[in-house]
Amino acid sequence: MIVVGRREGLSGGEIGGLFAIFGAVLLLGSLLSPLVRHALSVRAILLLEVWVGLGTAAFLAWPSVYVLTAAILPQALVLTSTDSVVVGYRVAMTPDRLLGRVESVRSTISRLLEPLGPLTAGVLLSLVSARVTMAFFVAFAVVLAAWATLSAAIRDAPSLEDLGSAQAQSP
């Protein structure tokens, strides 16, 4: 959003306003998260996030910072729901005695991979247009969404309630 906004001549304040809108929708998503978690399964929430993310393809047809912003707002609504079920699921399926180690490894891997998205975007934006860069990320998102949809591990995963009752029964 920053790069496209700057290329379209938006001021720092205008770009900040777009990010504020994103933040407000993210906050709304966090308020709606309990309702979403009760209404949908873990699998449905995961698939919702990956498929809603494909809305950014609208930018390929209409390359505008406003279209890009509007396209990511639905994802802002579901991000916090996904985070809450993924964290809850991970904690529920990890034995208590291993939770600290598992979280440490997960955190380390996550922090190691975090810079790869912005780095890739920066390299691509310096070499090609914003549309081509977005096409790359949309293609990646399509692969991710298809993989998630077809994944047996996601399809056959027990519910959070099943994990909770299994943990309660284990010695």
Considering only CA atoms, which of 19, 16, 52, 28 is closest in space to residue 142?
52
Distance (Å, whole) CA 155 – CA 150:
8
Pick from 2-6, 14-18, 37-41, 53-57 the range whose average pLDDT is largest.
Answer: 14-18
| Chain segment 53-108, per-residue pLDDT in tens | 899 999 999 999 999 999 999 999 999 998 888 888 888 888 999 999 999 999 99
Q: Where are the domains of the chain?
A: 2-169
**Look-up: residue for tokens 């990890």?**
94
| Chain segment 95-143, per-residue pLDDT in tens | 999 999 999 999 999 999 999 999 999 999 999 998 999 999 999 999 9
Long-range contacts of the stretch 127-135 (C-beta < 8 A, 24+)? 130/3, 130/4, 130/7, 130/59, 130/63, 131/59, 131/60, 131/63, 134/56, 134/57, 134/59, 134/60, 134/63, 134/68, 135/60
One-letter amino acid of 106? R
Please, which pLDDT band fits residue 163 given cuts at 50, 70 and 90? low
Chain length of the chain: 171
H/E segment holding residue 34? helix 12-39
